[in-house]
Structure 1
Amino acid sequence: MSDYYDLYLAVDLSPDLSEPALQEVRWLLGQAEMPSAPSSADWKTWGYPWQVFAGGSASHAFDGADVSLLVPAVDRPGGDGGVPWALTVRTCVHEDEFGVVMEVVDWLLRHASTRGWAGFVRDTASEDIQHIVRHDGGFDLVDVRSAEKRFQIAWA
């Protein structure tokens, strides 16, 4: 049985995102035609480009659905008045595609204005969870460890 990864990403992309980059983001989400030369990953290494974040269906290996949405964050303009692009992605990734998908995540985060927590990755084999934390030099996958103190809330 193959391993799958549950990838969740919630970031703001720069208000001054170039038109080619914006088209590529839309294509990755399944909302636009493929750019003539996609630059979000080394696609030749992986064989061919595909819309890695096209959502709209039940997740293959996790409860819930694979979804993706890109909208202008008009209620949260930046200090310069520019409107960032709000991006949320939840997708199931096969272990064979994980490398290229993380290349695409890296490319997206280079265009992001979000600092700090940007999402998580969960593995079906181990149920391990890693937070995606963006900083000026790139991003880290940070292991989540069980907390000493747990809160328990009973449903009435």
Structure 2
Amino acid sequence: MSDHYDLFLAVDLPPDLPEPVLLELRWLLGEGEMPPELKSTDWESWGGPWQAFGGGSASHSFDGADVSLLVRAVGRPNPDGSEPWALTVRACVHEDDFGVTMDVVGWLLRFATTQGWVGFVRDSGLGRIQHLVRHEDGFDLVDVRPVGQHKRVPWSSW
């Protein structure tokens, strides 16, 4: 049985995102036609391109649905009045596609304005959870805690 990864990503992108980037992102989300040239990764070495962040169906290996949404953040404009793009992705990624998907995540994060925590990756095999943390030089996957060493903080209103 193959492992899968539960990928969650939530970032803001600049209001003036270059049109070629916006077109490719919309295609990756399943919201548009494939542009003539893809820059997000070397798709040919992976057998050809696919819509890595297409959503709208039940997750293959995790509870809930794979979803993706790109909208303008009209309710929280930048200080200059411009409206950033707000992106949220939740995708189930097969272990064979994990490397290329993380290449695409890296490409996307080069355009993001969000710093610090931007999401997580959960492994179906080991149950390991890693935070996605964006910084000026790229991003890191940071282990939450070793499996089995959970710190519980009770929260009950029942």
Normalised-by-shorter TM-score class:
over 0.9
Instruction: Give the Cα separation in 2 of the matches to 1:96 and 1:140.
Output: 20
Amino acid at match of 1:3: D
Using the size of structure 1 for normalisation, the TM-score is 0.96
1:5 aligned counterpart, secondary structure: strand
Instruction: Give the Cα separation in 1 of the matches to 2:157 and 2:114.
Output: 34
**Superposition map of 1:40-79 within 5 A:** 40-79=40-79
Number of the residue aligned with 1:152: 154
| 1:113-151 residue CA offsets vs partner (Å, 9 max, x unmatched) | 000000000000100000000011100000001677521
Structure 2 vs 1, CA of residues 50 and 132 (structure 1 numbering), >3 Å: closer, same or farther? same
Instruction: Give the Cα separation in 2 of the matches to 1:107 and 1:148.
Output: 32
Instruction: Give the Cα separation in 1 of the matches to 2:64 and 2:150.
Output: 29
Deviation of 1:16 after TM superposition, in Å, equals 1.4
Amino acid at match of 1:151: V
Number of the residue aligned with 2:140: 140
Deviation of 1:80 after TM superposition, in Å, equals 2.5
Structure 2: tracts of 5 or more residues without a match: none
Number of the residue aligned with 2:21: 21
Instruction: Give the Cα separation in 2 of the matches to 1:36 and 1:18.
Output: 15
Number of the residue aligned with 2:90: 90
Instruction: Give the Cα separation in 2 of the matches to 1:38 and 1:53.
Output: 15
Structure 2 vs 1, CA of residues 81 and 128 (structure 1 numbering), >3 Å: closer, same or farther? same
RMSD: 1.3
Amino acid at match of 1:63: D
Deviation of 1:68 after TM superposition, in Å, equals 0.2
Q: After TM superposition, what 4+ stretches of structure 1 lie above 3 angstroms from structure 2?
A: 146-149
| 1:29-82 residue CA offsets vs partner (Å, 9 max, x unmatched) | 000000001111111111101101110000000000000000000111112322
Number of the residue aligned with 1:111: 111
Amino acid at match of 2:153: F
Number of the residue aligned with 1:127: 127
Using the size of structure 2 for normalisation, the TM-score is 0.94
